[in-house]
Chains A and B, each alone.
Chain A
């Protein structure tokens, strides 16, 4: 390898970014379809067993969480890590090969996941629906990512790991631990010689299974939807705005705070269940404390823009990222409120919960992945971004979509919770279940429309990205900070 020609190699990063765009459109289109199914139940019968809500819902959650989001995370990882470590992945054929293998096996796993879940294979554990052979492949994929990560770190020219790398490493270690313990399962065919070879049962039973599941489930939110997205914003917002992070010390403090507190909060999913009372209380308390490190990161991001707020007006990319950190603040305040026992008594099992999840995932996670892909596009292709107007349009359409989604679900959830609890003077329930369904219908329709707007925005994103590849405005060198964009 001749040093004179040495450049960052974005091959693997590009491949993952393409996947993020494809999985984003696929996963969220399915989400919109099942949202319409909830509003108009006859849609459940369109494609026989393959089109029912119960069959499609896990595909929606898995494709957006482990398809769209993870691809976005990997795409940014193979970009950011090279740059902040000042090392090209092409300097080591082995590490580069590992990165490529990581991509292809991940693609195989994703395809297998979609097909197997469409055929009805599921462990019935939320966000851990993949059956045991897929779990084994997941381990291989994850180890390959770790090899690429630590391979790059081993080759680095920069002695200190930038804060984004801390968060990527935490994602790798956190998910590895959670995934292994929650997916301990017994393949029934191999043990008993009966049934389907793909089928397995959990090694834990009853309340223990629920506890491990929600320790995993909540921390899947932590280590897939929060930690790596903080890694992303800590690189892309300072880089795009040309401003160093407001306080590096605050980023370190928030990191350790988040790592320590998040792992104990999962119990809030099991409030008023058979789990010991002290565990429920612990889940509540840790959820409330979690506001501090979360807001530490978010405020750090907003203060990074200090004195540069004019950029918010001028750059749609900055708009996406600043609104993302604002949505992060909103959802990390909303979550702890829902985890308080008395609030949970009203909110649990209602539509307020998916409302909360979606202001975090659409407003925070998706906006960061969208912004990072558009920041990378001019660097990938040495061309300016095709259209600023299209990006502005996408931003406003999607923001409107998110607002429709969460506001309708707030109203629906609280209405639902109040109706379930309402009793007459003799203590009889005032409403039957179908009464709530009738009242909620308009809100379900509004939610589906909000989702549709978000998916329209994804198509604009994909179009803008593809057109950037063919843009006529070729750049002589990589832009240092603000991404150049055409009208």
Chain B
């Protein structure tokens, strides 16, 4: 290694490559999760539209909804 500048240049290059890989990996992760059917991200857009208190949750939080169901039954 000739000097610190060369080291910086290598560091800069590989760090940029690393960040590009992370970015594309995240995009790939989002699309693959949808394709495999583990998640449907686009349905979360409805969280803003179907937001009345009495409406069914788009994806119920089991910890609180079971408790609130019990309350409703009382």
> Do A and B interact with each other, yes or no?
yes
For residue A295, which residues in chain B have a CB less than 8 angstroms away from its CB? none
CB distance from A431 to the nearest CB of B (A): 40
Establish whether residues A239 and B48, one from each chain, have CB atoms under 8 Å apart when the complex forms: yes
Q: For the complex, would chain B's binding face be called helix, strand, loop or mixed by DSSP majority?
A: helix
Establish whether residues B53 and A253, one from each chain, have CB atoms under 8 Å apart when the complex forms: no
Partner of A248, one of B27, B44, B57: B44
For residue A86, which residues in chain B have a CB less than 8 angstroms away from its CB? 51, 53, 55, 57
In whole angstroms, how far apart are the Cα atoms of A293 and B27 in the complex?
Answer: 13
Mask of A153-189 contacts with B, CB within 8 angstroms, 1/0: 0011111101110000000000000000000000000
Partner of A162, one of B26, B48, B52, B53: B48
Establish whether residues B60 and A158, one from each chain, have CB atoms under 8 Å apart when the complex forms: yes
Establish whether residues A234 and B42, one from each chain, have CB atoms under 8 Å apart when the complex forms: no
In whole angstroms, how far apart are the Cα atoms of A164 and B48 in the complex?
Answer: 9
For residue A244, which residues in chain B have a CB less than 8 angstroms away from its CB? 42, 45-46, 48-49
For residue B48, which residues in chain A have a CB less than 8 angstroms away from its CB? 84, 162, 164, 234-235, 238-239, 244-245
Establish whether residues A253 and B60, one from each chain, have CB atoms under 8 Å apart when the complex forms: no
Establish whether residues A88 and B26, one from each chain, have CB atoms under 8 Å apart when the complex forms: no
How many residues of A are in contact with the other chain, CB < 8 A?
36
For residue A6, which residues in chain B have a CB less than 8 angstroms away from its CB? 53
CB distance from A235 to the nearest CB of B (A): 5
For residue B26, which residues in chain A have a CB less than 8 angstroms away from its CB? 253, 256
For residue B35, which residues in chain A have a CB less than 8 angstroms away from its CB? none
For residue B55, which residues in chain A have a CB less than 8 angstroms away from its CB? 86
Given A84-B51, A160-B58, are A253 and B45 neighbors across the interface (CB < 8 Å)?
no
CB distance from A241 to the nearest CB of B (A): 10
Query: B55: nearest residue on chain A (CB-CB)?
Result: A86
For residue B59, which residues in chain A have a CB less than 8 angstroms away from its CB? 158-160
Establish whether residues A3 and B71, one from each chain, have CB atoms under 8 Å apart when the complex forms: yes
Q: Which of B41-74 contact A (CB under 8 A)?
A: 41-42, 44-49, 51-53, 55, 57-62, 64-65, 68, 71-72
For residue A247, which residues in chain B have a CB less than 8 angstroms away from its CB? 42
In whole angstroms, how far apart are the Cα atoms of A244 and B51 in the complex?
Answer: 12
Partner of A157, one of B23, B46, B64: B64
Given A88-B53, A235-B48, A245-B48, are A158 and B42 neighbors across the interface (CB < 8 Å)?
no
**What residues make up the interface of B, taking CB atoms closer than 8 Å to A?**
8, 23, 26-27, 30-31, 34, 41-42, 44-49, 51-53, 55, 57-62, 64-65, 68, 71-72
CB-CB nearest 7 A-B residue pairs: A244-B45, A162-B47, A83-B51, A159-B61, A245-B45, A159-B59, A238-B48
**What residues make up the interface of A, taking CB atoms closer than 8 Å to B?**
3, 6-8, 83-84, 86-88, 155-160, 162-164, 234-235, 238-239, 242, 244-245, 247-249, 252-253, 256-257, 278, 478, 480-481
- New A-B pairs, 14, CB < 8 Å, besides A7-B53, A84-B51, A244-B46: A3-B68, A83-B51, A86-B51, A87-B53, A157-B61, A158-B57, A159-B57, A159-B59, A159-B60, A160-B58, A163-B44, A238-B48, A238-B49, A244-B42
